[in-house]
Amino acid sequence: MKITQISIFLENRKGRLFDVCSLLGQKKINIRALNIAETEEFGILRIVVDKPADAVKALKENGFVAHLTDIVAVEVADHPGGLAEILKILNENNVNIEYMYGFVERSADKALLVFRFDDPDKAISVLTENKIKIIGSKDIGGL
């Protein structure tokens, strides 16, 4: 139930984010979720795409530094307190979140969030036990 995120090292240089997005566009790869972690002079672009293997191949061929990371995508009820309910479950079960971000799009009345856990397997079992819907990689392409 884990899905693949691509982390890309970007130095702080004009047009670098554009370079990534334009490359993926040319290769007909769709970005589903996106987040940038930045420091003073470099950043890490994290993306979830419909065709991760093709994306990594294209990125590496074009000289980008990319790494695959397992993440967990979770469906969250799109109403006030929806995220808090999930965080409460994770908190009570001592699951640590390294970072999280939202999907570019959402399905109907649910919001989709991406979590990076220090222990993804434990997180998945805790979430499943609590009847939280986890999105699989098959679903990503079809969203």
Partner 1 sequence: MEISFWNKQAETMDRLALEKIQLQRLKETISYALKTHFYKNRLEKIGLKSPEDIKNLSDLKKIPYTTKDDLRENYPKGLLAVAPEEVVRIHTSSGTTGIPTVIYYSREDLNNWTENLARGIVATGAGKKDVFQNMMSYGMFTGGLGLHYGAEKVGMTVIPIGGGNTKRQIQLMKDFRTTVLHITPSYLLHIHSRLEECAARVEDLALKKAFIGAEPHSENTRKKIEGLFNIDAYNSYGLSEMNGPGVAFECVYKNGMHIWEDGYITEIIDPKTGIVLGEGEEGEVVFTNLIRKATPLLRYRTRDLAFIYKDTCPCGRTHRRLSRITGRSDDMLIVNGVNVFPSQIEEVVMRIPQVGTNYQICLEKDGALDRLIVKVEIYSKLFSGDIKELDNLKSRIKEDLRASIIINPHIELHEPGSLPVFEGKAKRVVDNRIKL
The string of DSSP letters for 18-44 reads HHHHHHHHHTT--EEEEEEEE-SSEEE
Q: Report in angstroms how near the CB of residue 50 gets to partner 1 at its nearest.
A: 19
| CB of 40 vs partner 1, minimal distance in Å | 9
Task: Provide the β-strand partners of residue 76.
Answer: 111
Give the shortest CB-62-to-partner 1 separation in angstroms.
Answer: 10
Question: Which lies closer to partner 1 via its Cβ, residue 24 or residue 76?
Answer: 24
Q: CB-wise, 3 or 86, nearer to partner 1?
A: 3
Smaller CB distance to partner 1: residue 7 or 93?
A: 7
DSSP conformation letters of 71-139:
EEEEEEESSTTHHHHHHHHHHHTTPPEEEEEEBSS-BTTEEEEEEEESSHHHHHHHHHHTT--EE-HHH
Residue placing its CB nearer to partner 1 in the complex, 53 or 68: 68
Q: Which residues of this chain interact with partner 1, rule CB under 8 A?
A: 5, 7, 9-11, 13, 37, 39, 41-42, 44, 46, 60, 63-69
Pull the structure tokens for residue 18. 């554009």
Q: How far is the CB of 35 from partner 1 (least distance, A)?
A: 11
